[in-house]
């Protein structure tokens, strides 16, 4: 798998990662960068293999010559696997951190170990090594005196933030990709997705997304099965949704708790559950005044937290509130339109006015999508401007901003119809229109548009190559393949995909009791989503670097917040249902008090359930404790062995201040 | 501090811990136990020093001869400190795990290090070493064929569970104790408690309790200050409690969040914050069928979880429910009495019937205390019978049982008066009576009764010694001192103390808005509590072993649950207040809806606040991250150093199955 491949472009090793610099990069900069990448680790280099990509077949008119292929020897990759703390299956069936010293005890290690690491893992390792390639005594990037460097600064990140590095991306494996896409989306079947293969090719982060999508779809099936007869037989009987609301309420609690367990199982199998997080680097765009980081003791830009807080509370927060106000204003315009269409239909009902009734909802749904999109840009700009030091903190702030707005934007009108107007017919109609319109728009924008663009590019490239020589079985030579991949769009992460699922989860858990077909629609959407997402990953986007995720992160919290809201909403819907109201006909006060009391009880039950159901299945918990126990025992044994000898002073655990100073200068 | 002390009983080392066996123990058992304690560690012993306590001065009539003093060399204690993972201050000001190898880099290490460890730490180490003294090839305790042993079983725990070992306890340091008690409770002052000294003498668990008690008292001061004028000027104006309720609501949220930070500061300073938990041993009373523990691979008793669940859900749960029912029944009887007293007073009001009005409340308060006490025994018995493997799981189940009952028992009548009867005058009167009566009862039972008993014992012992020789400055010889301490009551942990604070916190946070003096009363109680608790620790009870606690554990959760309930209760109290009712005079429905909406908003705010306020103060967070970063760096450096050489195979981290088998037989 990791054999050296020699081909027309003259590469003497298996290329794994592509580094693209700007076409007018200085010779001096390129030479320096290549030297630092190739330098042995003792001299502070990355000890990787790197080669320039040869010119394309057709012409050299507008081609960027500064594309480099990066690879590494098997030995280097294995030591890198130890650096990044990769977990692999040990010969006793448990998952352990890989170490070169006892590599032969790992299940899949045979021979030299050249098929031990998957290509995605190798690419991840190379990315890590490139990212942690640090400046030594350079004060600026050679050839670019304005691009400052200081000891310990990641070179790649500086080149990125100064715009000298266009992109780094991992190469596709065409054979593997063909096999994966065949199992994944080429044949329509009822089997679960090939999650292990997805993880093997794209890494844990993406595999967890597809795992969650699949789990969500399966979890909706019972609701969809109950929904169909409900819809068929009780369609006009608006009162009968109480049982369905109770079902919803239990469902959304159990759903998330069981997902935590499933996610832990997957993460354990893939070795990310107990993997230690590496120390987080500052984001590429982070800037500030040079100072000493109190944690690492290194010189790096610092940005006072108080300034960031000021920006958040004095600019971002008012911006979000203003956007929310605008969104509510648009909602009120929609209701005016709605009323106008109704009055027109009631005055003189014809077929065309009947259709006109749906027009305001459809327009509103489109406007919602457009507003979400515009807001998204604003939120990204502001979060960037808030200048967060860590990528994770940037992501959290972005997710929070986007979630709050999208929630209000998508659901405000439904809440208004349900609880202020208390018009269940209109609620049902709005829900259906919103759900269907947004699904159609999403699928269009997400998969078909990019596919159409990419197809044009592919055809152009093939035509160009065919000009000079004839192609056997459509396979492009490496140089063209790399350039083709470089021109593909970049996959921006699972953010938008999770956001879509979050909104769908909202529609289902909050209001599906009044429109039982919602679950059916969401299931249908999810099935097509699986295929279109798989398709877009394989065909439309550049391969992304794998991301060793342990769980779905901040989204778990977001879904849980939504499920709390679902409990409250469903209780309130039950409270205002004609069925229940008839029961408490003599006293409205009693009705409200009972609703509130039951709702509090259910919320308490929800928290107790979340507390009682263990987040990790028992068999995995046992395996984790065994590992912990064994390392404790080994530590004890080692200590007894060393007693009084102190061959290897433990003070090495502490980089002394001298060492640190030496590191800095 | 650890110098050898030679005295009349012939001990040649500083005695730290006392082990008391039953007086009719077999010679063979004693000889075996002592040999195992003294044996070097290579042969599986504890490598401690042990000596029999000489006979007392007076007579040998009823004295137990089988009392042993245990100590250790400084070297052994230091290696034990490494075993238990003690954290100490390093010479760069951070807290690091102590290791013998770089002992000279720790701030307080001078000379041979004989004053490096406090006596409490030494005693904790000896207890740990005794607890982990394991059976090797013995199949039973020599001299007691019915006391089965199996390889790896803790010897001390078996002796305890078979009743052959009466007790193990640490010795007092009389000098130190005198100094501590002088600063702690002998002079009345407004300064904070000497927490560091308490921790030095009694360990972290108890010091955290006193820290929490002090923090709770200080946190109540603003409430008490607001409460007094409220009480004096608005006493008869029952409507004006809305502002006070709002204050309560904010107070109880902020209170707990800030405590988390304070607790983290204390735990960091005391070195328990990042200390790793040792592997937890089964409780002494745990029994089951011999099998293989899936985590350790050792042979030990196993008890199926399903059986335990059956016991919990089929016996314990019904028992708790029955007790709750009884408690509510008693409450209804109280209300009948209350009504009867009132009707008597209203028919013919005299001074005596005026006093009679308070009698039912006082009787009810006493009955509540008695019921709490009886229930406590039942809960302990049942939790014991549930046969939990770990002490922590036993504690959690006991705390849960006791908390639920005590909460209902103490607060049910107040809730009934507040929300069903909506009688604020009666609520105020009940609250005052309950609070005052329970405080008086508690102080009596907790400190003065045991003190009175102990004083009699002390006097008896002194009189006995004085019979044979005259005592200078009241100091007893070692043999008598040990026997005196052995006869003192055992301190059963902080459970009851925290429980009392929990109930006080409930009175204050739930209902203090209708009786603003509650905070004042609780402050007064807490101040006397600090003194009486300090007094009882120093004079009434045996010294307890120190307990390396990181925080107040399950009590944090309990207090947080109470504060959630406080938000709900205060909102409801505001909702039923005449002030607010007057505002919504036209529509009760509107009032309830607004109350519910605001309550939901406040609960959401509470959770968001808890999420936003970091649990660890920033400067400690930085120190912890620095430590983590340095150990990551050192690991990387070490790895680069070892690259390819593999001098020390990492496979040692894994106790191979052969080794484990060897360990078992």
Q: Do A638 and B657 touch (CB under 8 A)?
A: no
What share of chain A in percent tops pLDDT 90? 27
Please list every residue in chain B whose beta carbon sits closer than 8 Å to the beta carbon of residue A274: none
Q: What average pLDDT does this structure show over B17-28?
A: 90
Higher pLDDT, B250 or A211: A211
Please list every residue in chain B whose beta carbon sits closer than 8 Å to the beta carbon of residue A558: none
Please list every residue in chain A whose beta carbon sits closer than 8 Å to the beta carbon of residue B652: 634, 637-638
pLDDT number for residue A481: 84
Q: Is A112 on the interface with B (CB under 8 A)?
A: no
Its pTM surpasses 0.80 = yes
Among A278-282, A398-402, B502-506, B584-588, which is the least confidently predicted range? A278-282
Residue B469: exposed, middle, or buried by beta-carbon count in 10 A (0-12, 13-18, 19+)? Answer: exposed
Higher pLDDT, B597 or A53: B597
Interface pTM, i.e. ipTM: 0.82
pLDDT band at B280 (very low <50, low <70, confident <90, very high): confident
Among A643-647, B551-555, B575-579, which is the least confidently predicted range? A643-647
Q: How far is A646 from chain B (nearest CA, A)?
A: 5
Q: What average pLDDT does this structure show over A164-187?
A: 86
Distance of CA A521 to the CA centre of its chain: 24
Best mutation target among A83, A633, A660, A661 (most B Cβ atoms within 10 Å) is A633
Residue A6 in this model has a pLDDT that exceeds 60? no
Please list every residue in chain B whose beta carbon sits closer than 8 Å to the beta carbon of residue A96: 654
Q: How far is A647 from chain B (nearest CA, A)?
A: 9
Among A21-30, A557-566, A624-633, which is the least confidently predicted range? A624-633
pLDDT number for residue A313: 92
Among A50-59, A388-397, B422-431, which is the least confidently predicted range? A50-59
Q: Do A652 and B637 touch (CB under 8 A)?
A: yes
Q: Is B590 on the interface with A (CB under 8 A)?
A: no
Q: Whole-angstrom Cα distance, residue A247 to residue A238?
A: 17
Q: Do A653 and B630 touch (CB under 8 A)?
A: yes
Q: Whole-angstrom Cα distance, residue B86 to residue B117?
A: 10
Under a CB-based contact definition with an 8 Å cutoff, are residues A77 and A122 in contact? yes
pLDDT number for residue A660: 36
Higher pLDDT, B56 or A451: A451
Instruction: Return the closest-CA partner of residue A398 out of A285, A281, A289.
Output: A285
Chain B 520-539, CB below 8 Å of chain A: which residues? Answer: none
Residue A501 in this model has a pLDDT that exceeds 90? yes
Q: Is B586 on the interface with A (CB under 8 A)?
A: no
Angle at B469 between CA B463 and CA B475, to 5 degrees: 70
Looking from the CA of B99 toward its CB, the CA atoms found within 13 Å total 21
Best mutation target among B45, B101, B399, B606 (most A Cβ atoms within 10 Å) is B101
Residue B172 in this model has a pLDDT that exceeds 50? yes
Nearest CA in chain B to A637: B652
pLDDT number for residue B126: 93
* Cβ-Cβ contacts under 8 Å for B658 (sequence gap 6 or more): none
pLDDT band at B475 (very low <50, low <70, confident <90, very high): low
Q: Is B348 on the interface with A (CB under 8 A)?
A: no
Q: What average pLDDT does this structure show over A433-441?
A: 88
Under a CB-based contact definition with an 8 Å cutoff, are residues A383 and A401 in contact? yes
Q: What average pLDDT does this structure show over B428-441?
A: 88
Among A7-16, A161-170, B186-195, B532-541, which is the least confidently predicted range? A7-16
pLDDT number for residue A169: 93
Q: Do A296 and B99 touch (CB under 8 A)?
A: no
Q: Is A629 on the interface with B (CB under 8 A)?
A: yes
Nearest CA in chain A to B608: A561
Q: How far is B255 from chain A (nearest CA, A)?
A: 22
Residue A664 in this model has a pLDDT that exceeds 50? no
pLDDT number for residue A57: 61
pLDDT number for residue A640: 61
Euclidean distance between the first and the last CA atom of chain B, given in angstroms as a whole number: 42
Residue A650 in this model has a pLDDT that exceeds 50? no
pLDDT in tens, A313-355: 999 999 999 999 999 999 999 999 989 988 988 888 888 888 8
Residue B9 in this model has a pLDDT that exceeds 60? no
Q: Do B568 and A651 touch (CB under 8 A)?
A: no
Q: Whole-angstrom Cα distance, residue A364 to residue A238?
A: 25
Best mutation target among A630, A636, A646, A663 (most B Cβ atoms within 10 Å) is A630
In whole angstroms, how large is the CA radius of gyration of chain B?
29
Chain A 29-68, CB below 8 Å of chain B: which residues? Answer: 41
pLDDT in tens, B307-323: 999 999 999 999 999 99
Chain B 369-388, CB below 8 Å of chain A: which residues? Answer: none
Under a CB-based contact definition with an 8 Å cutoff, are residues A304 and A289 in contact? no
Residue A641: exposed, middle, or buried by beta-carbon count in 10 A (0-12, 13-18, 19+)? Answer: exposed
Most confident of A273-282, A568-577, B644-653: A568-577
Instruction: Return the closest-CA partner of residue A515 out of A287, A244, A200.
Output: A244
Paired with B168 in beta bridges are B19
Q: Do B96 and A634 touch (CB under 8 A)?
A: no
Helix (H, G, I), strand (E, B) or coil at B299: strand
Q: Do A657 and B96 touch (CB under 8 A)?
A: no
pLDDT in tens, A417-430: 999 988 888 888 88
Residue B645 in this model has a pLDDT that exceeds 80? no
Q: Whole-angstrom Cα distance, residue A273 to residue A279?
A: 17
pLDDT number for residue A655: 36
Please list every residue in chain B whose beta carbon sits closer than 8 Å to the beta carbon of residue A634: 652-655
Among A15-24, A316-325, A466-475, B539-548, which is the least confidently predicted range? A466-475
pLDDT in tens, A271-330: 888 877 777 778 877 888 888 888 887 778 889 989 999 999 999 999 999 999 999 999
What HEC string does B100-168 produce? CCCHHHECCCCCCCCCCCCHHHHHHHHHHHHHCCECCCCCEECCEEEEECCCCCEHHHHHHHCCCEEEE
pLDDT band at A474 (very low <50, low <70, confident <90, very high): low
Q: What average pLDDT does this structure show over B403-409?
A: 94
Most confident of A274-283, A373-382, B266-275, B612-621: A373-382
Q: Do B626 and A294 touch (CB under 8 A)?
A: yes
Q: Is B661 on the interface with A (CB under 8 A)?
A: no
Find the largest Cα–Cα distance for chain B.
99
pLDDT number for residue B3: 38
Higher pLDDT, A456 or B239: A456
pLDDT number for residue A662: 34
What share of chain A in percent tops pLDDT 70? 89
pLDDT band at A398 (very low <50, low <70, confident <90, very high): very high
Best mutation target among A82, A275, A295 (most B Cβ atoms within 10 Å) is A295
Partner residue opposite A634 with nearest CB, options B295, B652, B657:
B652
pLDDT in tens, B57-116: 655 557 788 899 999 998 899 988 888 888 888 888 888 888 888 888 888 888 887 788
Q: Do A629 and B295 touch (CB under 8 A)?
A: yes
Question: Count of CB contacts below 8 A, A vs B?
Answer: 112
Q: Do A588 and B589 touch (CB under 8 A)?
A: yes
Kindly report the number of other CB atoms within 10 A of residue A553's CB atom: 17
DSSP string computed for B465-529: HHHHSPPSTTPPPHHHHHHHHHHSBPP--SHHHHHHHHHHHHHHHHHTTT-THHHHHHHHHHHHH
Residue B328 in this model has a pLDDT that exceeds 90? yes
pLDDT number for residue B281: 75
In 3-state terms chain B splits into helix, strand, coil percentages (rounded to 5) of 65, 5, 30
pLDDT number for residue B461: 73
Q: Mean pLDDT over all residues of chain B?
A: 83
Q: Give me the helix-helix angle, A618-642 and B74-84, nearest 10°.
A: 160
């Amino acid at each position: 798998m990791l054999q050296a491949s020699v081909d027309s472009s003259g590469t003497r090793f298996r290329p794994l990662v592509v580094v693209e610099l700007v076409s007018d990069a200085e010779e001096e900069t390129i030479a320096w960068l290549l030297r630092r990448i190739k330098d042995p680790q003792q001299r502070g280099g990355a000890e990787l293999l790197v080669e320039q990509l040869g010119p394309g077949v057709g012409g050299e008119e507008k081609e960027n010559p500064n594309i480099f292929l990066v690879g590494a020897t098997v030995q280097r990759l294995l030591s890198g696997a130890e650096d990044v703390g990769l977990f692999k299956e040990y010969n006793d069936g448990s998952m352990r951190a890989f170490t070169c010293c006892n590599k032969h005890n790992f299940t899949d290690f045979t021979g030299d170990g050249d098929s031990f690491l998957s290509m995605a893992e190798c690419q991840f390792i190379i990315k890590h090594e490139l990212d942690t390639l640090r400046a030594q005594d350079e004060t600026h990037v050679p050839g670019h005196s304005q691009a400052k460097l200081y000891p310990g600064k990641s070179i790649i990140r500086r080149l990125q933030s100064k715009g000298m590095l266009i992109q780094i991306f991992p190469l596709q494996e065409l054979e593997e990709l063909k096999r994966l896409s065949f199992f994944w989306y080429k044949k329509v079947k009822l089997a679960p997705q090939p999650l292990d293969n997805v993880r093997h090719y794209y890494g844990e982060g993406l595999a967890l997304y597809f795992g969650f999508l699949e789990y969500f779809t399966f979890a909706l099936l019972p609701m969809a099965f109950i929904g169909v007869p409900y819809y068929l037989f009780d369609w006009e009987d608006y009162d009968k949704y109480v049982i369905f609301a109770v079902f919803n309420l239990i469902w959304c609690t159990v759903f998330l708790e069981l997902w935590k367990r499933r996610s832990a199982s997957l993460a354990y199998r893939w070795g990310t559950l107990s993997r230690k997080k590496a120390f987080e680097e500052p984001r590429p765009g982070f800037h500030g005044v040079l100072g000493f980081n109190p944690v690492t003791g290194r010189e790096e830009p610092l940005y006072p937290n108080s300034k960031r807080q000021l920006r958040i509370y004095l600019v971002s927060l008012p911006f979000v509130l203003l956007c929310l106000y605008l969104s509510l204003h648009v909602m009120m315009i929609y209701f005016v339109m709605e009323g106008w269409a109704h009055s027109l239909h009631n005055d003189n009902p014809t077929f065309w006015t009947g259709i006109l009734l749906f027009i305001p909802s459809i327009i509103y749904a489109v406007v919602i999508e457009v507003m979400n999109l515009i807001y998204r840009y604003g939120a990204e700009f502001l979060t960037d401007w808030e200048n967060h030091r860590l990528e994770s903190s940037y992501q959290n702030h972005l997710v929070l901003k986007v979630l709050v707005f999208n929630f209000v934007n998508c659901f405000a009108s439904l809440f208004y119809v349900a609880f202020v107007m208390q018009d269940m017919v209109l609620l049902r109609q709005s829900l259906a229109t919103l759900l269907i319109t947004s699904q159609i728009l999403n699928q269009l924008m997400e998969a078909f548009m990019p596919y159409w663009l990419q197809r044009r590019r592919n055809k152009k490239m093939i035509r160009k190559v065919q000009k000079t020589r004839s192609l056997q079985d459509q396979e492009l030579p490496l140089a063209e393949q790399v350039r083709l991949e470089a021109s593909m769009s970049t996959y921006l992460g699972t953010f938008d995909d999770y956001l879509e699922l979050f909104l769908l989860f909202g529609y289902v858990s909050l209001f599906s009791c009044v429109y039982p077909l919602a679950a059916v629609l969401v299931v249908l959407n999810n099935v097509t989503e699986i295929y279109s997402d798989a398709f877009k990953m394989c065909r439309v986007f550049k391969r992304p670097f794998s991301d060793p995720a342990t769980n779905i992160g901040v989204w778990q919290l977001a879904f849980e917040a939504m499920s709390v809201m679902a409990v409250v909403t469903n209780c309130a819907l039950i409270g205002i249902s004609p069925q229940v109201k008839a029961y408490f006909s003599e006293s409205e006060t009693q009705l409200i008090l009972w609703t509130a009391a039951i709702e509090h009880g259910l919320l308490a039950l929800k928290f107790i359930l979340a507390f009682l159901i263990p987040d990790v299945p028992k068999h995995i918990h046992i395996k984790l404790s065994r590992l912990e126990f064994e390392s404790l025992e080994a530590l004890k044994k080692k200590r007894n062995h060393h007693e009084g000898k102190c061959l290897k002073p433990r003070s090495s655990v502490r980089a002394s201040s001298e060492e640190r100073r030496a590191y800095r200068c």
